[in-house]
């Protein structure tokens, strides 16, 4: 039985839409409940419809459900403490930027566009009561080898997605991070110019 997702609403300086204010990135995922395929497909569909430079759509994804050989390969490529908790997620999604087109022309904005696609993915997932946690701690070369990726396909992140689990299942240091208050820099600190 899945744990009811806790609400961890951000303390924003001005109101923002609820799905963004309540979005957070857990490390504790339900290790038993399978990923809801309809919700996962909706998140991927949201990524598909995100904007891109000249409608180039330079994003590609490897989607692996817990229990599959592909999931095991992705989990094995995780480094640091990510490998300690991410295996409980319902699925792992590798986000890949297609850095050149079929003619070899550079796609200058591919990484930015992929970031937007993953943002759309995460917002849709949260709207459907799934949670995501994006990771940069992984061995890109291991993923390249495991999935025989072409040279122009660059893995940029791995996203754990699933239902929230109990923080009690996490190692002590990670458990403390899971329960810590949500914090962000003040908006004024982020604005280089605001005239």
Task: Calculate Rg over the CA atoms of the chain.
Answer: 17
What are the pLDDT digits (tens) for 156-169? 999 999 999 999 88
pLDDT averaged over every residue in the chain: 93
pLDDT for residue 2 is more than 70: no
What are the pLDDT digits (tens) for 4-41? 556 778 888 888 889 988 888 899 999 999 999 999 99
pLDDT of residue 177: 83
pLDDT for residue 172 is more than 60: yes
Q: 86-90, 104-108, 169-173, 187-191: which has the minimum mean pLDDT?
A: 169-173
85: tokens are: 């908790």
Q: How far is Cα 156 from Cα 119, in angstroms, rounded to an integer?
A: 13
Q: Provide the 8-state DSSP code for 168.
A: G
Average pLDDT rounded to a whole number, residues 37-65: 98
pLDDT of residue 130: 97
pLDDT of residue 3: 56
First to last CA, the chain: 51
Query: How buried is 80 (Cβ within 10 angstroms: 0-12 exposed, 13-18 middle, 19+ buried)?
Result: exposed
Q: Which range in 4-13, 56-65, 173-182 is most confidently predicted, on average pLDDT? A: 56-65
**Which domains, and CATH codes, for the chain?**
36-164 (3.40.109.10)
pLDDT of residue 191: 94
pLDDT of residue 85: 94
**Which of the four pLDDT bands, split at 50, 70 and 90, describes residue 46?**
very high
Strand segments, DSSP code E, in 11-116 are 59-65, 91-98
Q: 50-59, 68-77, 104-113, 177-186: which has the minimum mean pLDDT?
A: 177-186
């Amino acid at each position: 039985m899945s744990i009811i997702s806790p609400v961890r609403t951000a303390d924003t300086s001005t109101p923002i839409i609820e799905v963004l204010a309540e979005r957070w990135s857990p490390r504790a995922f339900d290790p038993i409940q399978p990923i809801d395929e309809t919700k996962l497909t909706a998140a991927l569909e949201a990524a598909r419809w995100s904007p891109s430079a000249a409608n180039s759509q330079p994003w590609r994804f490897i989607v692996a459900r817990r229990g599959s050989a592909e999931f095991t390969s992705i989990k094995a490529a995780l480094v640091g403490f990510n490998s300690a908790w991410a295996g409980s997620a319902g699925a792992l999604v590798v986000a890949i930027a297609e850095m050149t087109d079929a003619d070899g022309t550079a796609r200058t904005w591919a990484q930015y566009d992929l970031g937007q696609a993953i943002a759309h993915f995460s917002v849709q997932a949260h709207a459907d009561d799934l949670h995501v946690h994006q990771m940069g701690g992984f061995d890109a070369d291991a993923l390249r080898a495991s999935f025989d990726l072409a040279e122009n396909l660059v893995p940029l992140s791995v996203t754990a997605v699933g239902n929230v689990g109990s923080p009690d299942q996490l190692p002590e240091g990670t458990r403390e991070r899971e329960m810590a208050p949500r914090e962000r820099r003040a908006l004024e600190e982020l604005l280089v110019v605001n005239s």
